[in-house]
Amino acid sequence: MRRKAGLVLLACAVCCAALSPLLRWYAFPRLARIPANQYQDMVLEAKGATLLDYGSMKAKKVSKVTIVQTLKGDVEAAKKIEETAGRDVVVWDGLSYVQGPDGKMVSRIPERYIFDAHSQEPVHTTGEMVDGDPVRRDGIEFKWPFLTQKRDYEYFDAQTRTTSPIHYKGTETFRGLEVYRFEQTVPWTKVGMPRTMPVKGITAESVAKTGTTRWYTTVRRFWVEPVTGAPVYGEEIHKEELRGGTLLGGRAEVTAFAGHVKMREDYIEHTAALVKHNRTLVLLLTSYLPWGFLILGTLLLALSLWLEARGRRPGDPAPAEAAEPEPVSA
């Protein structure tokens, strides 16, 4: 009986030992994915910002500027791309909507971001764009990969349509979570005018005819929870200028927008709570269950060996040897 129990325990130990690496290296890449139908929004504010008054073409101080960012998954588009890409894909339609203190629109920038559902690497296909301009992204945007490492990453900047490093700056504690802080500085760069302008009758083409150009710089910071790769907080020290041309009435430059953009407090709390929940789910696949099965398998193996040793105690009588048959004569 002990021998049978030992064999059963040994089989269970082997099963647990096999499940441990399977969960980490096979199940995790297939189960930890961004949902194709995900929808999320975020509100950021720049209090005490400087904003251009297009009526007088002069910069003025305002109480705050609000930026509403939305990301909506396009399931049907993702399915079509998956047929040719051969992997799970997420298609995010993003919108960055900026409004002044009076609620009127300052700018409206749509995006389409296509990426691998697990690794977050960009997937290059038709439809990838920023403000109607086709782009080819390199590097990440919006989200870091699962199990983020303490290193620099390539990050795509939607304003300049370029990719540059975002640097790892250290580990901190934020709202009870261990997070990695990343920072990217985009130097003054000439960028295009938005397709949707805040004043009727003024278009990007009409501004270009005046010879006036738009320039942009920012210092971008993210606090990223490394297990999920999700930013729990972000901010930018953002500045835009219009330079040259007849539109400025002889002035060399005028500030179009300048402010310290930060996430609103209620969205910080919501994001931190969501990340804590998702962090537990990812840890189940990468740590809790694999290590749990490995420890359980070790204990079952030890128990089976102990039962086998008890079944062969030195005090037990040895089985009698079979007697040799006596010769038989005819």
In a domain, 162, yes or no: yes
How confident is the model over 96-107, as pLDDT tens digits?
A: 999 999 889 999
176: helix, strand or coil:
coil
The total of structural domains in the chain comes to 2
Range among 213-222, 294-303, 317-326 with highest mean pLDDT value: 213-222
State residue 208's pLDDT score: 87
320, part of any domain: no
| One domain for residues 37 and 113 | yes
Residues 119 and 254 occupy one common structural domain: yes
| Per-residue buried b or exposed e for 154-178, using 16+ beta carbons within 10 Å of the residue's own CB | ebbbbbbbebbebebeeeeeebebe
For residue 112, being part of any structural domain is answered with yes
Q: Is residue 86 in some structural domain?
A: yes
Asked whether residue 134 is domain-assigned, the answer is: yes
Task: Tokens for 75, please give them.
Answer: 């399931």
Q: What is the pLDDT of residue 315?
A: 54
- Residue 155 confidence class, pLDDT cut points 50, 70, 90: very high
250-268 core/surface letters (b: 16 or more CB in 10 A; e: else): eeeebbbbbbebbbeeebb
Region of poorest pLDDT, from 83-87, 161-165, 175-179, 184-188: 83-87
Whole-number Å distance between alpha carbons of 108 and 218: 18
Domain boundary among 202, 237, 263: 263
| pLDDT at residue 317, as a whole number | 56
Verify that 9 and 116 share a domain, yes or no.
no
**CB within 8 A of 265, min separation 6: which ones?**
none
Which tens digits make up the pLDDT trace of 26-58?
999 989 999 999 999 999 999 999 999 888 889
Say if residue 13 is in the same domain as residue 57: no
Asked which of 263, 290, 323 is the last residue of a domain, the reply is 263
What is the C-alpha radius of gyration for the chain, rounded to an integer number of angstroms?
31
Q: What is the average pLDDT across 253-264?
A: 95
pLDDT at 85: 86
So what's the pLDDT on residue 320? 52
d(CA 169, CA 222): 10
Percent of the chain with pLDDT over 70: 93
Query: Could you list the residue range(s) of the whole structural domain that residue 285 is in?
Result: 1-31+280-312
Q: Please check whether residue 131 is in contact with residue 114, taking contact to mean a CB–CB distance below 8 angstroms.
A: no
Q: Answer yes or no: is pLDDT of 313 > 70.
A: no
Share the mean pLDDT of the chain: 90
- The runs of H, that is alpha helices, within the chain are 2-22, 28-31, 75-85, 204-209, 265-283, 289-310
Among 223, 238, 263, residue at a domain's last position: 263
Other beta carbons within 10 angstroms of residue 127's beta carbon come to: 14
Rounded CA gap, 42 and 196, in Å? Answer: 21
Q: Is the pLDDT of residue 175 over 80?
A: yes
Which pLDDT band, with edges at 50, 70 and 90, does 330 fall under? Answer: very low
**Rounded to whole angstroms, what are the CA distances from 56 to 240, 250, 285?**
17, 14, 58
Residue 45, C-beta contacts closer than 8 angstroms, at least 6 positions apart: 64, 65, 66, 67, 261, 262, 264
pTM over 0.75: yes
Residue 144: burial class (beta carbons within 10 Å; 0-12, 13-18, 19+) = buried
* Stretch 101-124: mean pLDDT: 93
Q: Name the band, by pLDDT with cuts 50, 70 and 90, for residue 267.
A: very high
Residues 286, 180 share a domain: no
175 found inside a domain = yes
Residues 256 and 306 in one domain: no
Sign of CA dihedral 83, 85, 86, 90: negative
- Tens-place pLDDT, residues 192-220: 999 988 888 888 888 888 999 999 999 99
Shared domain check, 235 and 152: yes
| Cβ proximity of 60 and 96 under 8 Å | no
Residue 124 covered by a domain:
yes
Residue that has been written with the tokens 């400025």 in this structure: 248
- Same domain? 14 vs 36: no
Cα angle: 223, vertex 32, 124; to 5 degrees: 80
Q: State residue 199's pLDDT score.
A: 84
Residue 186 contacts residue 160 (beta carbons within 8 Å): yes
pLDDT score, position 310: 76
Residues 219 and 300 in one domain: no
15 lies in the same domain as 77: no
Maximum alpha-carbon separation in the chain: 136
Domain assignment of residue 329, yes or no: no
- Assess whether 132 and 180 both reside in one domain: yes
Task: Give the CA angle between residues 128, 119, 278 to the nearest 5°.
Answer: 110
Q: How confident is the model at residue 321 (pLDDT cuts 50, 70, 90)?
A: low
Residues 60 and 179 grouped into a single domain: yes
Cα angle for residues 76, 81, 87 (degrees, 5° grid): 115
**Is a pLDDT exceeding 80 seen at residue 3?**
no
